[in-house]
Amino acid sequence: MQAGAPLAGLLVIDLSRALAGPHAGQMLGDLGARVIKVESPGTGDETRSWGPPFVTGNDGENYSTYFLSCNRNKESIALDLKSDDGRAVLTDLIARADILVENFRTGVMERLGFGTSALAALNPRLIQLSITGFGHDGPEGGRAGYDQIVQGEAGLMSITGPGPDNPQRVGTPIADLLGGIHGVVGVLAALHERVATGRGRVVRTSLLSSIVGVHAFQGTRATVAGQTPQAQGNHHPSIAPYGLFRCRDSQVQISVANDRLWQAFCTEFGLDPRTPGLESNPDRVANREATIAFVEQAFSGVDAAELLARLSSAGIPAGKVRNLTEVYAWDQVRSQGLIVDVEHSALGEISLPGPVLRFFDVDADGEQEHARTSHDAPPTLDEHGPAIREWLRAEAVR
């Protein structure tokens, strides 16, 4: 918890593991809530063993960079939820909590004795966030859902990759991440509602719904236009030219999303915007290969650095493709708070990808950034267990 941050003063119990739930818990921690991560004794969150890569700490233990990616700003306590002690400690935590996050398969929380009705009876103000793979009900509601499986089942892989015969997964676990993000949106709505009602709410989402929910124009191509979208590589299905194009020494990306930009693009490179078959965006989309050839011929004698400067001068949105090492070395990324330096108890100072939101106070004198001023490293297993138990004992006698 950090004073002054938007969710300061709220307590989150994070029972989740892997990525969707932990990402939601991390976001709530970034927003200032106190997040207590409950883990299994001995092993902890399964992502603690996901690797390589691992980094060896000063204690000789190997730490998973996967785990480090989604557990900052949390405390860890190890509890055996099948034991009387573990259930008693969790009960005490839930009684004091504002939000509970879990991503177990349907029915697990009930078997542990912490179903939705039991939780509501224990703490009527508790907001319960539950994330599953394919939904909590329906004909496949109890099905286990891991990210890549859901990317395939939810259609994302069919529209990703070089072509329809070579489906590709997105390079990050996007179903998990979107599940966590959408879960946080629901939690924030429930917190707002609780101000008026004084009562909590059960919030449910799934990896399936999170992918279907971001189909965007590809979805309406199917539901309204009756088309079945297919993968087509690095070029936009509805706008041209918009994509990755070869130049003399490498490749650049451009987005010519309207007729004004098409005119500016053609003027900069001495091209005729009224070239037959390329006059309008629908024409250029219908004649995509000719459009690509038209653009790449103009780029063929120009190196990427010069090309990007000319495109910028002409007002054409453009960019290069960076690898992740280049991204984290980019001044613009650090200027946006997208890298945070934290002190890990075993690894020392490490840098992590940072939170995506920034908050500002605004008055007559202008803007003043107002958010977390520091971040906590992802915890070692049970790192805060003794302190949390002591806090609960102190709370019990107040």
Query: Strand, coil or helix: what is 377?
Result: coil
Identify the active-site residue in 30, 45, 176, 376.
Answer: 176
Return the closest-CA partner of residue 184 out of 31, 328, 68, 48: 31
Q: How far apart are CA 286 and CA 278, in angstroms?
A: 9
Return the closest-CA partner of residue 298 out of 285, 282, 314: 314
Handedness of CA 373, 374, 375, 380 (dihedral sign): negative
- Sequence-ordered list of residues with C-beta below 8 angstroms from that of 157, at least 6 positions apart, any chain: 151, 167, 168, 169
- Where are the alpha helices (H) located in 213-337, listed in sequence order? 217-223, 259-269, 281-286, 288-299, 304-313, 324-328, 331-335
Q: How far apart are CA 319 and CA 165, in angstroms?
A: 28
- Sequence-ordered list of residues with C-beta below 8 angstroms from that of 113, at least 6 positions apart, any chain: 87
- Sequence-ordered list of residues with C-beta below 8 angstroms from that of 103, at least 6 positions apart, any chain: 16, 17, 18, 20, 21, 130, 131, 132, 179
Cis check for the bond before 52: say yes or no (omega within 30 of 0).
Answer: yes
In a 10 Å sphere around its CB, with 0-12 CB exposed, 13-18 middle and 19+ buried, how is residue 246 labelled? middle
CB count within 10 Å of CB 41 equals 15
Q: Are strands 127-132 and 99-102 parallel, antiparallel or unpaired?
A: parallel
- Give helix then strand counts, H and E, for the chain: 16, 15
- Give how far the C-alpha of residue 292 lies from the chain's centroid of Cα atoms, to the nearest Å: 32
Q: Is 176 a catalytic residue?
A: yes
DSSP letter (8 states) at residue 300: T
Residues belonging to the active site? 176
